[in-house]
Amino acid sequence: MTAEDYKNGQVILIDKPLEWTSFQVVNKVRWLLRKQFDLKKLKVGHAGTLDPLATGLLVLCTGKFTKKIETFQGQQKEYTGTFTLGATTPSYDLETAIDATFPTTHLSEAIIRDATRQFLGDIQQQPPVFSALKKEGKRLYEYARKGEEVEIPARTVHISEFEITRMDLPQIDFHVVCGKGTYIRSLAHDFGRALNSGAHLSVLRRTRIGEFSVENAMTIEDFETKLKG
């Protein structure tokens, strides 16, 4: 690859490491490319944020391909991960501490599997208050971290597949295929409520966006090695 190739547009598939923000990955890749080709500037963007505590596929676009980001963002996404039942957190994941606990003794495999059905198709979902969505020019997490209450309207999202792949209570593993705007953290929270218990997301990995698979993605270290050739 040459500098012109990256300016004209490339898609780079990165397997995002745990605890990195999507923004940090974009910055690192941009810095590596600018350094390698001695460029003063180069556009790099990502097609769909992954939370710091999630791993998996991050689709990066360079140069003129940054215009395709919106198209990629609208494509179907696939996730695997773990819900922990019996407890909730304000962020719906492990970013914040447990704020309430609930019984799980009433839960059976049949009840848990049966509950997945109500989350298939078009459903109403409320985004987490600890998210990067904007309200009145501020990110929602900015309100949340200050303890300020903010109303978040529910929105319609589409889930085409939701299956439980392993049960070892209080943890259950899942596989989800969904459309744009779906929050797996919110799915965890709502699923816990549907079970008359609590739940939060404890592990999340994105495995696919459209035709792009994490199996074809590189670690940041792999990308750096490839660049240096």
Give the pLDDT confidence of 168-225 residue by residue, as tens digits: 999 999 999 999 999 999 999 999 999 999 999 999 999 999 999 999 999 999 999 9
User: Facing residues of 213 across strands?
Assistant: 208
Kindly state the DSSP code that residue 127 receives in the 8-state scheme: P
Same fold, 3-74+212-228 and 77-209: yes
3-74+212-228: CATH number: 3.30.2350.10
d(CA 8, CA 2): 10
- Is the pLDDT at 227 greater than 70? The verdict is yes
Q: Does 51 participate in catalysis according to the annotation?
A: yes
Q: What is the pLDDT of residues 110-144, one digit of tens each?
A: 999 999 999 999 999 988 876 666 666 766 667 66
Which one-letter amino acid corresponds to residue 18? L
Q: What is the pLDDT of residues 67-105, one digit of tens each?
A: 999 999 999 999 999 999 999 999 999 999 999 999 999
Domain range list for the chain: 3-74+212-228, 77-209
Write down the pLDDT at residue 228: 86
Please pick, among 15, 51, 93, 190, the residue that the annotation labels catalytic: 51
One CATH from 3.40.50.10490, 3.30.2350.10, 3.40.640.10, 3.40.50.450 for 77-209:
3.30.2350.10
Q: What is the pLDDT of residues 2-57, one digit of tens each?
A: 999 999 999 999 999 999 999 999 999 999 999 999 999 999 999 999 999 999 99
Cα distances from 224 to residues 41, 108, 149, 227, in angstroms, run: 18, 48, 43, 5
Query: Mean pLDDT of all residues in the chain?
Result: 93
- Is the pLDDT at 150 greater than 80? The verdict is no
Write down the pLDDT at residue 127: 86
